[in-house]
Structure 1
């Protein structure tokens, strides 16, 4: 029995030592086309009164500041990885809709910043040099709130507004041992509860859809 226990312990130790050798770090940068479907906004106007309306958000991905993201992954083995991701996404209220509500500006554009802790699964050596992957993450939303009312109250700054989550599906293509390109679909949800100057508030749940393309560095 003792020999069996020692043998099992030795096997476990050898596996644990072998794991770091198979580990891989990956740093990815991406941009793409990001949109946001309608969502309802509600809250209190600075100075008094309340509002509730459905907004058809615009993404404007390639206008300044542009949509982009950065993801760091630690692949523990050829299948499973964990990491951290930051996405600078954006939403603008259309001019006619914000004006009808009494706002000079109504946007989260520098940006609707999302930070998540991710877990991902990949399938190497399935499609030649292509590696499909799936993943998801949970985290927080820290948007730059840019809201101004027609009565002169202006809110302009970063706020923590609530929890966030993301889902990812894509595939990468190895250019060589160090670099890969990739394309993916990404869905992001954020619950936002922002404070407005003058004791006002803004609440909205925003969902974004994005088609990303980018470059990864492995080391």
Structure 2
């Protein structure tokens, strides 16, 4: 792992730790909401850059498939500490997925499918019962990408596959949605979510892969307040 990658990971980890300890330690929560969701997730093309032992440096623009309902499916969980003024702080983990489309000449396998894990600390705002039982909300978060890297360069012998979790860099998300109040504790919600992650992966046998991955998703879920 390069010194540049170590510096990026250290910066991302430090930022996440600071955000987790400062706001959540000082905020007085009036309510805690726990939510789980799934949905339809896609990802646009992005450029992959890096080095390989046999071919040296490379740069390719490739497509990504999300396949959100293939096992393991796309899903996420979120905890939010809401205050009386309608703002809150939370922690969120999204198990996103991307499969490299078959337009790369350099890799036989190129996936982050178990998954492209995005972990963020969120700042949220809601407008409680703005439309009777409907509550619109937004949140924004920053944090880290912890994907399961599943990559095999083309034309390599056994042992050239990278198959492991790696802390690859910083991540961020934006969410906007609306929840429907079923009763005092349970809610249904639907939302649009965008994530960004900058990923710097190390490959077994030498080599690197760098790529920025964006995801777009339409989520539906259920939450519990207490």
TM-score class normalised by the smaller sequence: 0.7 to 0.9
Corresponding position: 1:112 with 2:116: yes
Question: Is the partner of 2:193 in helix, strand or coil?
Answer: strand
Q: Number of matched residues? A: 197
Deviations along 1:19-41, one digit per CA (max 9) or x if unpaired, are: 95x70000000000000011000
In the TM superposition, 1:1-16 aligns within 5 A as none
Structure 1 residue 46: deviation in Å? 3.7
The aligned counterpart of 1:135 is 139
Distance in 2 (CA, whole Å) between partners of 1:140 and 1:49 is 28
Distance in 1 (CA, whole Å) between partners of 2:89 and 2:64 is 32
Between structure 1 and structure 2, the one with the greater Rg is 1
Distance in 1 (CA, whole Å) between partners of 2:137 and 2:206 is 45
Report if the CA contact (8 A) 1:130-1:174 is conserved: yes
In the TM superposition, 1:23-42 aligns within 5 A as 23-42=30-49
Among candidates 129, 145, 148, match of residue 144 of structure 1: 148
Deviations along 1:167-195, one digit per CA (max 9) or x if unpaired, are: 00000000001100000000000000000
Distance in 1 (CA, whole Å) between partners of 2:177 and 2:91 is 17
The aligned counterpart of 1:158 is 165
In the TM superposition, 1:36-51 aligns within 5 A as 36-51=43-58
Distance in 1 (CA, whole Å) between partners of 2:82 and 2:73 is 29
Distance in 2 (CA, whole Å) between partners of 1:82 and 1:215 is 19
Give the alignment's TM-score, normalised by structure 2: 0.84
Distance in 1 (CA, whole Å) between partners of 2:97 and 2:54 is 27
Pairwise CA RMSD: 1.3
Structure 1 residue 76: deviation in Å? 1.4
Deviates more, 1:37-46 or 1:62-71: 37-46
Give the alignment's TM-score, normalised by structure 1: 0.87
Report if the CA contact (8 A) 1:182-1:214 is conserved: yes
Distance in 2 (CA, whole Å) between partners of 1:208 and 1:157 is 21
The aligned counterpart of 1:53 is 60
Which consecutive segments of 4 or more residues in structure 1 shift more than 4 A?
Answer: none
Among candidates 165, 187, 204, match of residue 211 of structure 2: 204
Report if the CA contact (8 A) 1:132-1:170 is conserved: yes
The aligned counterpart of 2:95 is 88
Report if the CA contact (8 A) 1:147-1:155 is conserved: yes
Among candidates 169, 191, 211, match of residue 198 of structure 2: 191
Structure 1 residue 199: deviation in Å? 1.5
Structure 1 residue 78: deviation in Å? 4.6
Distance in 1 (CA, whole Å) between partners of 2:116 and 2:216 is 13
Structure 1 residue 47: deviation in Å? 4.1
